[in-house]
């Protein structure tokens, strides 16, 4: 079994308006997932430097960041990053360029963990506009379909979709199963299921949920979500 998680970390700025990468890592260590998709992992302006420094990640966690080779100071691409266990093998990784009016992107990596099947992981943060979300969802699925080597796929991220069975959710549902994690936004009083985990037919969601520890309720305006996966 493999545990995955997705977390919009809001650039490390908590509900107390303090930026604390240490607090974000505390939350991630509580979840203890094998693979983590992060959104808003980099600062927005300038060099778009990563919020969690490589030194802090190395010293305080069991993960390494997938290197997408995009910006030297960033952890990912347009704020999207993937963390995997240090013992994992990353065969490939790169950005997915999404159609958008404002800067948006997704990232993907082919990963083999010490246990479980080889996986293709996609992390994304979709647009606020429903029309652009659907175009972006189509771009993500097309990118996965064009991969030279097929493998079981996990899609994760902040989809920004409030409607339960319409828009990009309906598009993704034609091909992927959703983990019924529950509402994750706003962290103070969760009502929106903006954050999602989806899996290809060869995977089964054995368990899933929203991580709502005291630390998680303060660290970001989103709560992290998680799922335990096994071959179907």
Instruction: Residue 208: give the domain boundaries.
Output: 2-231
- The pLDDT of residue 89 is 97
- The pLDDT of residue 72 is 66
- The pLDDT of residue 103 is 78
- Helix then strand then coil, in percent of the chain rounded to 5, is 20, 35, 45
Are 51 and 24 spatial neighbours (Cβ–Cβ below 8 Å)?
yes
Question: Is the four-CA dihedral 131, 187, 57, 206 of positive or negative sign?
Answer: negative
Closest CA to 230 of 208, 210, 209: 208
Domain count, the chain: 1
Q: What is the pLDDT along the chain (232 residues), one digit of tens a residue?
A: 999 999 999 999 999 999 999 999 999 999 999 999 999 999 876 667 899 999 999 999 999 999 987 776 788 889 999 999 999 999 999 999 999 877 788 999 999 999 888 999 999 999 998 899 999 999 999 999 999 889 999 999 999 999 887 899 999 999 999 999 999 999 999 999 999 999 999 999 999 999 999 999 999 999 999 999 999 9
Are 210 and 225 spatial neighbours (Cβ–Cβ below 8 Å)?
yes
Whole-model pTM?
0.95
State the pairing for strand pair 35-39/2-8. parallel
For position 153, which CATH number holds? Answer: 3.60.10.10
């Amino acid at each position: 079994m493999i545990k995955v998680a997705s977390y919009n970390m809001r650039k490390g700025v908590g509900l107390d308006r303090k930026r604390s990468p240490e607090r974000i890592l505390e939350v991630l260590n509580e979840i203890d997932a094998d693979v983590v998709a992060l959104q808003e992992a980099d600062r927005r302006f300038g060099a778009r430097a990563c919020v969690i420094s490589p030194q802090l990640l190395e010293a305080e966690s069991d993960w390494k960041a997938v290197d997408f080779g995009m910006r030297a100071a960033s952890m990912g691409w347009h704020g999207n990053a993937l963390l995997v266990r240090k013992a994992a093998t990353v065969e490939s990784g790169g950005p997915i360029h999404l159609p958008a009016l404002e800067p948006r992107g997704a990232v993907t990596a082919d990963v083999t963990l010490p246990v479980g099947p080889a996986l293709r992981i996609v992390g994304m943060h979709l647009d606020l506009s429903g029309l652009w979300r659907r175009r972006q969802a189509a771009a993500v699925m097309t990118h996965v379909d064009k991969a030279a080597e097929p493998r079981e796929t996990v899609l994760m991220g902040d989809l920004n979709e409030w409607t339960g069975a319409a828009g990009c959710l309906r598009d993704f549902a034609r091909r992927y199963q959703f983990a019924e994690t529950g509402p994750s936004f706003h962290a103070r009083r969760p009502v929106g299921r903006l954050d999602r985990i989806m899996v290809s037919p060869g995977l089964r969601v054995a368990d899933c949920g929203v991580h709502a520890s005291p630390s998680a309720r303060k660290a970001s305006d989103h709560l992290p979500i998680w799922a335990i996966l096994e071959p179907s």
